[in-house]
Structure 1
Amino acid sequence: MRVVVLCGGESSERDVSRSSGWAVAKALTERGHEVMLVDPAAEQPVLAERVSADDAAVLVPSVPPAASERAALGRRMYATLTSGPVHEQLRNADRVFVALHGGWGEDGHVQAMLELAGIPFTGAGSDVCAITWHKGRSQAVLEAAGVPVPPRVQFDPAEQPEPPAGIKDLLANGPVVVKPVAEGSSVAVRLAHSIEDVTADSPVLIEPFLSGREFTVAVIGGSPLPVTEIELTTPLFDYEAKYQPGAVREVCPAAIPAELAEHLQELAVRAHHALGFGRSYSRADFRCDAAGTPYCLEVNALPGLTPGSLVPVAAAGAGIGYAELIERLLET
């Protein structure tokens, strides 16, 4: 097929996405497809007219791009996707492989543009991405579907001069995790030990810190991959830990009892369908409390696809090579 791979973009995860995009493009080239690689937010958006399987891997820096860059990136991205030669290449593609993470690539903006233009693309549609991207809304959907989620308090400093009183109740049992309501790759996730620590300049979700083990389960087309355990050397699986080699140990299949593995897979599949992913793919992240009870922290609509990312690790645990995995995702 003639495939255009979209990567990069305007979000804080653009470096991760560029790494995913190069890896995806090389895998599709290896499988015999004709691949163009595009970063719509770059000054020169076409990174490669045709990707070679011998191109070097793109590494992820230890810190995300500065927030001050995002406005200019967004303007270029919008112009690239809605007019000009790249837009025509998208229209002429047999399939657009969306390897964007975060921002417009994961909140439904890009998917809506492609849908309006009638361009076929991989992954979930704009409606599913929009609800999944907002952690507060997606957790409400999961809770209604019977997927256990942590107790939580939302704090929007633009609407509330002081953190809500409910945060004190959460802090009564230990530290809390403060995370952006809409962000990925654990960007800006931090621990807070007191109400004074709970500061924010954008909407955040506050949850109790769960001190148990951490797991993730990828689901493709409604079928779960093996459970992966994330063995941490730090309290949180933050941005730096996720993308720097050797920062964490990812074990797949996880060394856990069969009953727990089946339970996590069942919860991941239930979350997948509750949010409307259907035949697409997703990745559900879980963390256990001190008693070993798992809670779903979030579901990812466009999880990382660097060779060391969690979905490829889970696929390898099932005996699925990287190129074969990407071929499967091309069909979603």
Structure 2
Amino acid sequence: MSTQHANEDAETPTEETVGWRTKLRYILNSDFVRSAPYWGIPFLLMGIAVYGGIGYNLAISFTDYAGLSRPTFGSFDFEMYRRALGNEAFRRAAINNFVLLVSFTGVSLGLGLFLAVLLDHGIRFKEKVQTVYLLPMALSFVVTAQLWLWMYNQENGVLTVIMEAFGLEPINWLGNPDVALAAVIFALVWQFSGYAMVVYLAGLQSIPADQFEAAKVDGAGTLRTYARIIIPQLKESSVSAAVVLMVFALKAFTFLYALVGQYRPPNGTDILATLMVRQAFKFGKWAYGAAIATMLLLLALGVIAPYLYYQHRKGSL
């Protein structure tokens, strides 16, 4: 009899066992686990292809890998990073990257805000102007580069024809290191200022109309109303547009390669992305190129991370 009671007590689940089984059943029946077959494989592939590639690139940057044999990971050092920071071409590319990032973003924001204010104020042909300025963003970097390559042509480009009509000497826009970077920035501003215009226009249209009426009653003119009341409320629009534009500036490799890729050596428009590709694929310095790519990644994170933290503090993430 005692043996039967002992067996029954052993088979009776304890409260702890019941709780554990309930939690396991809840986890297995959750939407996260049940949907795993649908998102698990893409997530795994993305992890291998993207984050695995980033990790492998980081590991390569600490070696002396030259692409002719398998990399040796026996001894890691920062030699490639020291070589990059002490190289004049790297410093020049980093400066160009910074100038491109700041100038392109600042001018695009300023021009976009100006156009948005004009459209919001109700100028004539509002829809046509909005379409014309937004259309270039629909073009790819390669198409835009080919368009401006034709316009910058020193022999028969549009700008050359216009300058000759005014009796001016044609300028070698893409071959002169003193003006080549400015020419690149101007072309990028032409393509993306329409994006900033749309973002600002959406922000302007979200501001209540009674603020304009109140300012008018107080005797404030249009310029003062926008400067003192309306534009300060566009902080969110400015931050969002600036981050997107800076990301586009960091992705300008395709545009630069299509526009000035025919010039060798670089003509004053070299940025970290073009320097990295040239060092790795042209000269076979894979470890050096990987170190430049890693620093470019850190630069991109320096742009994105503050924005994500800002959105997190707001509760948007």
TM tier relative to shorter chain: under 0.3
Who wins on radius of gyration, i.e. which is larger? 2
| Greater share of residues in strand | 1
